[in-house]
Amino acid sequence: MSADPHSAGRGGLVIRSRLGVRFVPAEIAASVTWLAGVVPVPGLVPPAVGIAVADDRVATVISIGEEPGTEAIVCEVDGGWVALTGARVLATGRFDNASDGSDCVQWDGEVIESIDLRGLMIAAETAIWRARGMRDEGSRP
Amino acid sequence: MSRVKGWLDVLRSLGKDAGSEAHELVEAEAQLWHAHEKSTASATQVVEATGGLAAASGRQRKLVDTLLETARTAQARADEIGPALVRVTETLERLRLVALNVGLEGSRMGDAAGRSLTMVSDEVRTYVERGVEALHDTRALVEEVGPTAGHVAEHAEALRQSEADLGGEILRVQSLAQETSRSVEEIGRWARKLSETDPETATILARAAEHARGLVSDLSLLKSATQTELARAVLRPIIEPLVRLLRDLGGDAH
């Protein structure tokens, strides 16, 4: 299931989640770890579910699926740490780049998109601001 | 010839006596004592058999107790195995994470050493996943064992209750059998008081009357002089002492 080790390709993880099968490049994936507990933070709304200590770092926990287990993929995004939960790691290694020159890789005969972590973070922040806006709207006399 | 006729008369008179009221009474008494003897023997056997039943019931109760204890132990052990398997599964999951991180590092390195790490990671993850699947199946089986052992324990408990009921019934039967035995003895005592003859005499008389009736019946078939003469020759050594004995006993002296 791993990529061809002789290929130059791109190193990283192939995961399965609510988003589908996605590639997480090794440049942003720091580790796969076990989350002892997620601390809920007031004001956070899904997909952000709280914060947790992962590998001695405080990370924002973002749920991207309902896969069983408590493993989390710790990633670095713009100098901050994000722990992705609810995903299942399917493969690790170096994967061939997609032939169309896109950001995708090939795995198991399929073209796999890279995960859009920035997009995920923006979606999480948007959801938080939307929830805050609705709350403020409701409390206005 | 006249002597032979005399014997025959004696025997015929015995035959007549055998049909008399006295004979019937002796016969009835003999039958009574025979029945009493059989009843006593049967009552004794019933008492012994119920004693054996009670002993067997006691042994069975011990076996049921052992079965119950074993089933409860099995249930407790099955309950302990579940959490142990969960711990093993968690350990394997952690090992899988270690392998994933090794694979991630290998993918980052990209050189020959990185490739080796990736390959080791894949291998470890494959075995871990097989182990987790096997543990999952084992847990499913163990989860069946607990309730099954529980059912065995419930049935053993019901069996023990049933065994206790049976034990009570056996005790009751044993008590009744002993009562029957005592009653039969009581009947024997009262029969001795009411009867004119003791059991041994009644039996002897009944047996003697039976023989006499047979003898008379056979001799009555003798018709010709030749037959009578032959009978005299054959029976003389037996009949003469018999006649003497009957005279001594105070019978009618023909």
> Using a CB-CB distance cutoff of 8 angstroms, which residues of chain A are in contact with residue B115?
5-6, 94
Percent of chain A, pLDDT > 90?
A: 52
Q: Is the reported ipTM for this assembly greater than 0.85?
A: no
Beta partners for residue A29, in sequence order: A75
Q: Cα angle at B161 between B160 and B164, to 5 degrees?
A: 85
pLDDT of residue A85: 93
Asked if pLDDT for residue A55 goes beyond 80, the answer is yes
Beta partners for residue A20, in sequence order: A17
Q: Using CB atoms, which residue from B101, B109, B118 is nearest to A2? A: B118
A118 vs B9 pLDDT, higher one = A118
> Using a CB-CB distance cutoff of 8 angstroms, which residues of chain B are in contact with residue A93?
103, 106-107, 118, 121-122
Query: For the CA atoms of B69, B73, B75, B77, what is the dihedral angle to 10 degrees?
Result: 180
SS3 B61: helix
Asked if pLDDT for residue A2 goes beyond 50, the answer is no
Tell me which residue has tokens 């939307």.
Answer: A130
Rounded to an integer, what distance in angstroms lies between the CA atom of residue B192 and that of residue B186?
A: 10
For residue B191, name the pLDDT band (cuts at 50, 70, 90). confident
A137 vs B54 pLDDT, higher one = B54
Percent of chain B, pLDDT > 70?
A: 88
Write out the two tokens for A30: 């720091």
Secondary-structure percent of chain B, ordered helix, strand, coil, rounded to 5: 90, 0, 10
Tell me which residue has tokens 């009493």.
Answer: B36
Q: Using CB atoms, which residue from A1, A11, A89 is nearest to B100? A: A89
Amino acid at A14: V
B171 vs A24 pLDDT, higher one = A24
Q: Which of residues 68-107 of B touch A (CB under 8 A)?
A: 93-94, 97, 100-101, 103-104, 106-107
Contact B103 A71 (CB under 8 A): no
Contact A31 B106 (CB under 8 A): no
Rounded to an integer, what distance in angstroms lies between the CA atom of residue B246 and that of residue A110?
A: 127
Residue B249 φ then ψ, to 5°: -75, -5
Percent of chain A, pLDDT > 70?
A: 91
Is the separation of the CB atoms in A117 and A80 below 8 Å? no
Q: For A43-95, give the DSSP string.
A: T--TTEEEEEEETTEEEEEEE----SS-EEEEEEETTEEEEEES-EEEEEEEE
For residue B1, name the pLDDT band (cuts at 50, 70, 90). very low
Count of C-beta atoms within a 10 Å radius of residue B131: 16
pLDDT of residue A15: 94
Is the separation of the CB atoms in B7 and B235 below 8 Å? yes
Asked if pLDDT for residue B215 goes beyond 90, the answer is no
SS3 B172: helix
- pLDDT tens readout for residues B82-91: 889 989 998 9
B83 vs A24 pLDDT, higher one = A24
In angstroms and rounded to an integer, the radius of gyration of the C-alpha atoms of chain A is: 17
pLDDT of residue B3: 47
pLDDT of residue A27: 92
pLDDT of residue B5: 53
Query: For the CA atoms of A26, A83, A62, A134, what is the dihedral angle to 10 degrees?
Result: -120
Q: Using CB atoms, which residue from B93, B94, B118 is nearest to A92? A: B118
Nearest CA in chain B to A7: B110
Q: Among the ranges B32-41, B129-138, B186-195, which has the highest mean pLDDT value? A: B129-138
pLDDT of residue B21: 67
Contact B118 A94 (CB under 8 A): yes
Is 2.40.50.180 the CATH classification of the domain at A10-138?
yes
Rounded to an integer, what distance in angstroms lies between the CA atom of residue B219 and that of residue B210?
A: 14
CB pairs under 8 A between A and B: 65
What's the mean pLDDT in B16-28?
66
Asked if pLDDT for residue B254 goes beyond 50, the answer is no
Asked if pLDDT for residue A44 goes beyond 60, the answer is yes
What's the mean pLDDT in A31-35?
90
Q: Using CB atoms, which residue from B93, B94, B100 is nearest to A92? A: B100
The model's pTM: 0.60
